[in-house]
Structure 1
Amino acid sequence: MDVSIISPVFNEKDNLEPFIKQVSNALNKETWEWELILIDDGSDDGSFDLLQKLSKSQKNLRIISLSKNFGQTSAIQAGFDNALGKYLVTLDSDLQNDPKDIPNLLHKLISENLDLVVGWRKDRKDNFLFRNLPSYIANKLIGAITGVKLNDYGCSLKAYNANILREVKLYGEMHRFIPAWMATKVSANKIDQLVVDHHPRIAGESKYGISRTFRVFLDLISVYFFMRFFSRPGHFFGFLGLLMTFVGVAILSYLIFIKFVYSLDIGDRPLLIAGTIFTVVGVQFISLGVIGEILSRTYYASSKEKSYLIKWDSKN
């Protein structure tokens, strides 16, 4: 299989038939052998029944139904785990992403030997205040923290090198951070973007809201930690611990100095409590870093996960 198109479905019954038709029209013009994998994420509007019916007449269509609504990230991961293609493409099934852009992303991915091409909805057809503005701020923040600067992290339309992507496992709501995750395995110059079309939603209800913006910021903390310190947690917690311990010891040293040199009473000073807390918490952070290092080494020793990725081996 050359290409696997992966799209999660949650209550998109009215969009499914035109979506499948548009994907077929876009891919049938190419020479690739392809499959369209639709992952029903616990829909309750009859989407699954319709997909079962459509799969009987669509030879390229494959349906995966999850037992309940696990969320977009889990649905996408289910598609990744079951895809057969050498190249993978993700997009939403709500017809806001245009399937006509799929070949453009794939041609760029293949011709420029990239590992990921991200769609950029430059002319986005969404509410500016509740969707576009928070997305703009989030994109800038994610780019600054992860070092992978893209204009549209939230665009679901992406094309991937499957060999690289299979080294990345998604959890929680991390699908929007796939470029950052991939940057832990490949150089950032193997990731690029391409302007794609975007359409207003014409059927169904949007699954996105302003609350997702806050979840993005919370997820970003986890992404930052895993990108920088997953294989060396002791550096993260150890730095915080040493800093707090230094502050605590400095405060206590000052109090001891004025106690013995100037015979001042320090028992009722807030600085005594602050110094003690800083010192104790600092030691705890250092201990946590040591435990983290042990867990990290145990994880790599007991699993197939590696802290590196081999791109090419002369023996193979």
Structure 2
Amino acid sequence: MIPILNEEESVGPMYDHVIKALDPLETPFEIIFVDDGSTDRSFELLSQMAKDDPRIVVLKFRKNAGQTAAMMAGIEYARGDMIVTMDGDLQNDPADIPMMLAKIEEGYDLVIGWRMNRQDKWLSRKLPSMVANKLIGKITGLPVKDNGCSLKVYRSSVIKRVPLYSDMHRFIPAMTLPLGARIAEVGVRHHARQFGVSKYGLSRIFKVLLDLIAIKMLLLFADKPIRRFFGLAVLAFVLTLVSLWPLLDAWAGDHSVMMQTTITMLLGSLSVFFLLLGAVASLVHQRLGGVNLRWD
């Protein structure tokens, strides 16, 4: 599964490399390209390729939705028992796929590639990635050398149960661990970009931090989430009742009640918020099959 965004010069060579890597395996496969709202000729070229080779599937977004959304669309559509994801800019090497497939056959559910001798700029790409990998490992409890490497192999039965949004494709390994996933890491080749420009910059750091906060909340409250959030909601409701007494007293005495009214309204709103948040967390919990999202 390959997400594409304005990679008209890369799609042809990418197809050739994938075919060269997979044809010798003599096993059925499909190549899913997800056009994430490209404005160049990427979709036109992919459509023609699909006409020439029935193993190619092309999905198209009407507008750019981001790499995570593109990956989830491709994963949802995929029909095979194994799903391989990779970037469409030729920096990942399809020649590594057979080795990774062999690794997953050893009994793993997810095989993660980590880019050896990474061919990216140090300040804008390598340094933020190093910091992010350390931070993600610390917060999730799963140390992974290279969360940002898109070249991964999954068992379909596992990855299709993982709910993702925003830019959470970087956290897929951590999100599969609660499902009991067995994970392996292997070194893979990495090439300098030949065509086009990178779609990422330092601005993504803020998105990663926000998603990390969301994942930390999920890990903390996903075990019986409605019960945990209900406790917080009850606490906020009790504080609301407590704050009502001085508010009524202020009204009776014809004093200024602006501040007290504001506090009471905030506490009441917080109580409702925690109840709704617990309901949402319960839905996520059910989507993951009712597993415990906490691990040691």
User: Does TM, scored on the shorter chain, surpass 0.5?
Assistant: yes
Would the aligned equivalents of 1:241 and 1:285 in 2 still touch at CA under 8 Å?
no
Question: Which structure has the larger Rg?
Answer: 1
Aligned to 1:61: 56
The CA deviation at 1:156 is: 0.4
Map 1:304-315 to 2 at 5 A: 306-308=289-291
Ranges in structure 1 where 5+ consecutive residues have no aligned partner: 1-5, 250-272, 310-316
**Corresponding residue number in structure 2 for 1:220:** 212
Q: Does 1:191 align with 2:174?
A: no
Task: Give the root-mean-square deviation of aligned CA atoms.
Answer: 2.9
**CA distance 1:117–1:300, change in 2 (3 Å):** closer
Q: Deviations over 1:68-93 (max 9, x none)?
A: 21111111111011101100000001
1:168 corresponds in structure 2 to 162
Aligned positions, number: 270
Deviation at 1:235, TM superposition (A): 3.6
Unaligned runs of 5+ in 2: 243-258
Amino-acid identity (%):
40
CA displacement, residues 209-231 of structure 1 (integer Å, 9 cap, x when unaligned):
11012211111111111233134
Aligned to 1:177: 171
Residue in structure 1 matched with residue 197 of structure 2 by the alignment: 205
AA matched with 1:209? G
Q: Secondary structure of 1:13's match?
A: coil
Letter in 2 for 1:215: K
Please give the per-residue CA displacement for 1:253-296, whole angstroms capped at 9, x wherever unaligned.
xxxxxxxxxxxxxxxxxxxx9xxx8x998887666545544554
- Separation of aligned partners in 2, 1:23 and 1:295: 40
Q: Tell me the residue number matched to 1:36.
A: 31
Indicate how the Cα distance of structure 1 residues 225 and 296 shifts in structure 2: closer, same or farther if over 3 A, else same: closer
Normalising by structure 2, report the TM-score.
0.81
Counterpart in the other structure of 1:10: 5
Q: 1:50 to 1:294 in 2, by over 3 A?
A: closer
d(CA) in 2 for partners of 1:105 and 1:206? 25
Task: Work out the CA distance in 2 between the residues paired with 1:158 and 1:38.
Answer: 16
Structure 2 distance, partners of 1:304, 1:217, is 24
Q: 1:151 aligns with which of 130, 145, 165?
A: 145
Partner of 1:255: none
1:123–1:198 CA contact under 8 A, matched in 2: yes
Please tell me whether the aligned partners of residues 121 and 152 of structure 1 are also in contact (alpha carbons under 8 angstroms). yes
TM-score (norm: length of structure 1)? 0.77
Structure with larger RCO (C-alpha < 8 A, sep 6+): 2
Distance of aligned partners of 1:296 and 1:157 in 2 relative to their CA distance in 1, 3 Å threshold: closer
